[in-house]
Amino acid sequence: MNIPPYPHPIIAREGWPFLAGIVLVSVLVSFWSPAASIPFWILSVFVLQFFRDPARSAPDGELNVLSPADGRVVAVEEVRDPYAERDALKISVFMNVFNVHSNRAPVNGAVASVSYFAGRFFNAALDKASLENERNAAVLTTPQGHIVTSVQVAGLVAKRILCYAKPGDRLYAGQRYGFIRFGSRVDVYLPLGSRPRVAIGDKVQATSTVLAELAPTDAASSE
């Protein structure tokens, strides 16, 4: 099953109720006291920028692994992928409240599994957040046979992880598949032999930034 392409309406659909609510409150308070409404209008602008969801163009390259989120790279390391049960290269992107929080598929692939894990809400920039915070892991299999795991991780104030992908779905690289509200991170686990294209501290954009390049197919088939 293919998930229909998401029509980019500039403002994420997840934010429509929040934006409508705060704008309505701001308008009502303005009638009572324009001065008193200023903080509400400032909050309206914050909600507007938080839920922005711009369309993005993906670079060409069938072996590219695209960033699933906007933010800053906080980890590039070899670890154990607990979701696909293999050693892997992990690249983590931390999103603060000023980043776009729409999550995109890092590769073309079929969804092999989607697993939700309840957890805590540590600062998402910390390493322990990967395995101790609330999270949702999607394991993808690319047409070339690579296994790529994309994990949405809740942060200190993130209280809702949304994932629209289901086992059996087919995603295209850069496709919108989820959203995390209010500060979080995304961990991407790649086959060993993948070549990182980013370093810790780099700022990245969902879909537009290539995080890494997967190894050629013959290497993938030997996993």
Amino acid at 120: R
**Burial zone of 205 (CB within 10 Å; 0-12 exposed, 13-18 middle, 19+ buried):** middle
CB-side exposure of 171: number of CA atoms within 13 Å?
Answer: 33
- Tell me the three-class secondary structure of 99-143, residue by residue: CCCEEECCCCEEEEEEEEECCECCCCCCCCHHHHECEEEEEEECC
Q: What number of other Cβ atoms are within 10 A of residue 168's Cβ? A: 11
Q: Where does residue 208 fall: left (phi above 0), alpha (psi -120 to 50 degrees), or beta otherwise?
A: alpha
Write out the catalytic residue numbers: 184
